């Protein structure tokens, strides 16, 4: 397909026909307030291929991709085996988007089906969907699902839920009349008393995260019991790697579970594309958004895969669809599938244990530094918070210069935690690197 | 044949008044237009509903369609057998495939609905 842009003469002619006498394209956008308009559409003159490549390489050199990474906050630097890239780079997978002629794409459907099975097993739930955009949108979809199931409109959200997810939730629901209540986090874990105070027979769901944004791990079984007593659902957002060690959402009584799948073989790559996963109990499958692949047999009893429950989706049910999601994150879901298949059950446990143990080592090392206080009020998985005697933003900046991304400054989302930094450790971090972090931090603070 | 003695809506539900209660289902035309029915979301017993309000969803291999209550009232019973065998609606839409019973608030509401003759005429018009 050739792309022939309009010539200035043609543009003028077209504008003339629709009554823009000035002949300026900008005048088409007059109805948009000036502060929301692009300041200028003037682009520099075109470059040759050679010039463009040189320019882009120059830009690329500004990127730093070899930092020693201790930043988490929902997205983690886990190792990605080479086989993940090798398999997803096969053109049969790489070029196929969500299947529009699904039954003709048996390979794609099988991959999605296997992915769903992996997520269901990982979370202990009955069914998983074919994937969603990311952890935040998945959590929003879970909240909407709870409203549909219960016919209620109050949502209690734990303060330990990733602040990015909470922001997304409020943005997505800003035009709906949902009664949101946020409960604070005390001592790193969900505040039982506060949740109990808020939960009533108007509550559709309580939304929790495990481990929470501060890295604290929790057993939410008691909260799910309270939810179920008043007919509310418990939604738990989880970190999939942590499930190698922790109780599953099902074991804690969750009705819907979601999470960010980036840790499962998907590179951090400047914020995306990532992967949202969602799983639930069988009784709620018809209220679940997105696509679901099922397995069946054909006339000759041969196994085959189908897109099932499509009748709830947008292209058939229009404005009454379960969700406006009519797609899935197939390639990222495939990465997660290949990753989980490669490392297996024992491998997942090992990745989780190593991450946790190394984080404990980092806690010990950082705790030895004068003025640094490691918070130990609740058990953590691979992430924890430290109080610094100096502004974390400045300290983090100093360590970046030494090639270390030391952590995430909590003040950015929690104004009362201005002195705190969130530190994450994965299986990739070596003992040497953790000691380097401690030494560099001590230097930045005291020399 | 469209059974007489029932009342019909433009959305292809039927309602049969039995004293103060009424039985509701979908018509033979509706079931055949939907195709093989795979699932029905039954209404909650005790739920109050207004005439023309969505009360249930029926899902077939082709589509998921809402069922609108032909009359205002309170749901008193649902056809629980449909949960495991929704195909009964295809086989026996006017009889074993009934969906729910409700205590009718105002039987006069049913006057707005069509009788068998009017419904048959309506279907013919729809086809034309």
How far out from the chain centre does Cα A343 lie? Answer: 21
Q: How confident is the model at residue B72 (pLDDT cuts 50, 70, 90)?
A: very high
Tokens coding A286: 């018809």
- Rounded to a whole number of angstroms, the distance from the CA of B60 to the nearest CA of chain A is 8
Q: Does A432 touch chain B (CB under 8 A)?
A: no
Burial of residue A236 (CB within 10 Å: 0-12, 13-18, 19+) is: buried
Q: Is residue A203 part of a domain?
A: yes
Average pLDDT, chain B: 94
- Whether A285 contacts A160, CB under 8 Å: no
Q: Is residue A56 part of a domain?
A: no
Spatial separation of the C-alpha atoms in residues A339 and A347, rounded to whole Å: 10
Q: How confident is the model at residue A2 (pLDDT cuts 50, 70, 90)?
A: low
Shared domain check, A355 and A335: no
Where is the domain boundary, A339, A363, A397?
Answer: A339
CA-nearest residue to A284 within chain B is B41
Q: Does A312 touch chain B (CB under 8 A)?
A: yes
Q: Does A296 touch chain B (CB under 8 A)?
A: no
- Dihedral, A110, A113, A115, A119 alpha carbons, nearest 10: -170
Q: How confident is the model at residue A319 (pLDDT cuts 50, 70, 90)?
A: confident
Average pLDDT, chain A: 93
Mean pLDDT within A42-61: 92
Question: CB neighbours of B13 closer than 8 A, spacing ≥ 6?
Answer: B24, B25, B26, B27, B30, B67, B68, B69, B70
Mean pLDDT within A230-256: 98
Per the CB < 8 Å rule, is A316 touching B41?
no
The rounded radius of gyration (Å) of the Cα atoms in chain B is 13
Q: Is residue A246 part of a domain?
A: yes
Q: How confident is the model at residue A103 (pLDDT cuts 50, 70, 90)?
A: confident
Shared domain check, A89 and A38: no
Shared domain check, A121 and A173: yes
pLDDT score at A104: 85
pTM summary value = 0.86
Shared domain check, A211 and A117: yes
pLDDT score at A327: 73
B interface with A, Cβ–Cβ below 8 Å: 39, 41, 59-64, 66
pLDDT score at A1: 52
Spatial separation of the C-alpha atoms in residues A334 and A340, rounded to whole Å: 10
Tokens coding A402: 């030494």
Run of H or E including B48: strand B48-49
Q: Does A345 touch chain B (CB under 8 A)?
A: no
Q: How confident is the model at residue A237 (pLDDT cuts 50, 70, 90)?
A: very high
Q: Is residue A49 part of a domain?
A: no
- Rounded to a whole number of angstroms, the distance from the CA of A252 to the nearest CA of chain B is 28
Mean pLDDT within B70-76: 97
- Whether A307 contacts A285, CB under 8 Å: no
Q: Does A315 touch chain B (CB under 8 A)?
A: no
pLDDT score at A86: 96
Residue numbers in B near A316 (CB within 8 A): 62-64
pLDDT score at B128: 77
Before A348, cis peptide (omega within 30)?
A: no
Query: Is the predicted pLDDT of residue A96 greater than 70, yes or no?
Result: no
Q: Is residue A98 part of a domain?
A: yes
Instruction: Please state which of the ranges A27-41, A124-138, A433-447, B49-63 shows the lowest mean pLDDT.
Output: A27-41
Where is the domain boundary, A280, A315, A339?
Answer: A339
Shared domain check, A195 and A247: yes
CATH number of the domain at A319, please. 3.40.640.10
Per the CB < 8 Å rule, is A311 touching B63?
yes
Q: Is residue A184 part of a domain?
A: yes
Tokens coding A339: 């990753």
Q: Is residue A182 part of a domain?
A: yes
> How many domains does chain A divide into?
3
DSSP class of residue A283?
Answer: G
Q: A96 is in which domain, residue-wise?
A: 82-339
Shared domain check, A227 and A307: yes
Run of H or E including A133: none
Per the CB < 8 Å rule, is A316 touching B39?
no
pLDDT score at A187: 66
Q: How confident is the model at residue A324 (pLDDT cuts 50, 70, 90)?
A: confident
Would you list the domain boundaries of chain B? 7-123
Q: Structurally, what CATH architecture does the domain formed by B7-123 represent? A: Beta Barrel (2.40)
Instruction: Classify the complex by whether its ipTM is higher than 0.85, answering yes or no.
Output: no
């Amino acid at each position: 397909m050739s792309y022939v842009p309009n010539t200035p003469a043609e543009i003028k002619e077209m504008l003339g026909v629709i009554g823009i006498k000035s002949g300026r394209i900008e005048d088409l956008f007059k109805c948009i307030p000036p502060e929301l308009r692009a300041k200028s559409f003037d682009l520099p003159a075109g470059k040759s291929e050679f010039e463009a490549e040189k320019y882009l390489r120059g830009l690329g050199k500004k990127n730093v991709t070899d930092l020693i990474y201790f930043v988490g906050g929902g997205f983690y630097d886990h190792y990605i085996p080479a086989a993940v890239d090798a398999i997803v780079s096969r053109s049969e997978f790489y070029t196929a988007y969500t299947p529009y002629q699904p039954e003709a794409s048996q390979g794609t459907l099988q991959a999605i089906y296997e992915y769903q099975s992996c997520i269901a097993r990982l979370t202990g739930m009955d069914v998983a969907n074919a994937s969603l955009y990311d952890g935040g949108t998945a959590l929003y979809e879970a909240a909407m699902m709870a409203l549909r199931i219960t016919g209620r409109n109050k949502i209690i959200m734990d303060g330990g839920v990733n602040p990015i997810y909470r922001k997304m939730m409020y943005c997505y629901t800003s035009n709906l009349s949902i009664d949101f209540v946020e409960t604070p986090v005390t001592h790193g874990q969900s505040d039982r008393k506060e949740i109990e105070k808020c939960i009533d027979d108007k509550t559709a769901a309580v939304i929790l995260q495990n481990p929470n944004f501060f890295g604290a791990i929790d057993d939410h079984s008691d909260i799910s019991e309270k939810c179920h007593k008043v007919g509310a659902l418990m939604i738990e957002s989880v970190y999939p790697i942590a499930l190698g060690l922790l109780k599953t959402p099902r074991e804690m009584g969750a009705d819907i579970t979601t999470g960010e799948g980036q840790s499962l073989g998907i590179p951090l790559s400047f914020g995306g594309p990532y992967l949202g996963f969602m799983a639930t109990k069988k009784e709620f499958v018809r209220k679940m958004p997105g696509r679901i692949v099922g397995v069946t047999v054909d006339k000759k009893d041969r196994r085959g895969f189908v897109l099932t429950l499509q009748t709830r989706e947008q292209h058939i049910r229009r404005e009454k669809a379960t969700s406006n999601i009519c797609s899935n994150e197939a390639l990222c879901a495939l990465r997660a599938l290949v990753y989980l298949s490669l490392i297996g059950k024992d491998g997942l446990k090992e990745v989780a244990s190593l991450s946790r143990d190394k984080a404990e080592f980092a806690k010990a090392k950082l705790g030895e530094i004068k003025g640094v206080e490691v918070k130990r009020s609740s058990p953590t998985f691979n992430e924890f918070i430290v109080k610094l005697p100096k502004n974390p933003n400045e300290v983090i900046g100093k360590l970046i210069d030494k090639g270390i991304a030391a952590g995430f400054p909590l003040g950015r989302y929690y104004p009362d935690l201005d002195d705190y930094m969130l530190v994450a450790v994965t299986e990739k971090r070596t003992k040497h690197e953790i000691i380097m972090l401690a030494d560099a931090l001590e230097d930045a603070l005291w020399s | 044949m469209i059974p007489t003695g029932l009342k019909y809506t433009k959305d292809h539900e039927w309602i049969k008044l039995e004293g103060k209660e009424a039985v509701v289902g979908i018509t033979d035309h509706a079931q055949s237009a939907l195709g093989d029915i795979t699932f029905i979301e039954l209404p909650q017993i005790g739920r109050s509903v207004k005439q023309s309000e969505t009360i249930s969803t029926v899902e077939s291999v082709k589509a998921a369609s809402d069922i609108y209550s032909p009359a205002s009232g309170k749901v008193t019973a649902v056809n629980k057998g449909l949960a495991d065998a929704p195909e009964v609606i295809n086989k026996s839409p006017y009889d074993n495939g009934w969906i729910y019973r409700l205590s009718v608030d105002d039987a006069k509401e049913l006057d707005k609905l069509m009788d068998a003759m009017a419904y048959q005429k309506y279907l013919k018009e729809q086809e034309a």
